Structure 1
Amino acid sequence: MRIVAAVLIATLAWALPLPGRAQTEADTAAVQGVIRNQLEAFKRDDGAAAYAYAAPNIQRIFPTAEAFMAMVRGVYQPVYRPRQYSFGALESRDGVLVQAVEIVDADGQIWTAVYTLEHEPDGSWKITACHLVRSEGTTA
């Protein structure tokens, strides 16, 4: 599983830049909607829906929704079963959109999930990577 996590973290470098395109409020709403929809699909165990939000680079690594969901359950438990979550600011770093999401897991542990996303030719946004960082604190 550590190899899988390393592969996903490495995919941060694969996120495509947005040449000549300014970030807009619509981008923020769309990006946060994609992440929210995927998190909600995880909660419902709707693997097909969750997988649909993964970018082609992730789908190449995990060629089926079942393989993708097995990886998420094994490596990304806070993302798979968040108690609650909230969005930070959407940032552009070297042309890559980066969205931080604060997650409280089932045990009250606080995590930051750092997502990168790419804009697809069809106009949709897809998640290219998620890097999970455990915070020091917990909630009640």
Structure 2
Amino acid sequence: MGLVCDVVGRVLALFLLIAMPAFAQAQSGDMDKSAIVGLIQKQLDAFQGDRAAEAFGYASPNIQQMFGTPDNFLAMVRQAYPPVYRPRSVDFRELVTSEGRIVQKVLFVGPDGVPVIAEYFMERQPDGSWRIDGCRLDRGGDQSA
């Protein structure tokens, strides 16, 4: 009986060793999704209030360098991304990996009433936080994604 219990105990221990990394990864993914959605929502709130410096602060260092100033960044968003700048509605979709990058998909209905899928490219910073490293709008894509 002792041998059977020992074998069962080892099998159970092996199962737990195999299952724990997957469980931890799923938990980590949920925490990342929550942090990413929260970050994007904060930037959207900053756009709503025309708080350029705050919105700019959520962008990655590369994006900040590209635009130079918060005012330049806000002007670009206002002109090129009206659904993001003044959305009628926002629906966060799935968090995916595409070409080795973390991408948060968001369904926006813009001020013109037209739905558009935004792909937010995310970048993890050395301190573990996330920043937005670009956004691409798919105006003709499938809106059910």
Same fold (TM over 0.5): yes
CA contact (8 A) 1:110 1:136 kept: no
Are residues 1:29 and 2:26 paired? no
Bigger helix share? 2
**Aligned-residue offset at 1:24:** 1.4
Task: Kindly name which structure, 1 or 2, has the bigger radius of gyration based on alpha carbons.
Answer: 2
Count of matched residue positions in the alignment of Structure 1 and Structure 2: 118
Work out which of the residue numbers 44, 49, 55 in structure 1 matches 2:49. Answer: 44
2:100 is aligned, of 95, 102, 105, to 95
**Structure 1 segment 56-95 matched on structure 2, within 5 A:** 56-95=61-100
Contact 2:48 2:86 in 1 (8 A): yes
Contact 1:30 1:125 in 2 (8 A): yes
1:107 is matched with 112
Q: Which runs of 5+ in 2 are unaligned?
A: 1-24
Partners of 1:80 and 1:94 in 2: CA distance = 27
| Mapped partners of 2:67, 2:53: distance in 1 | 12
Q: Which residue in 1 is equivalent to 2:134?
A: 129
Q: Percent identity?
A: 45
TM-score of the superposed pair, with normalisation by structure 2: 0.75
Q: Secondary structure at the match of 2:139?
A: strand
TM-score normalised by structure 1 residue count: 0.78
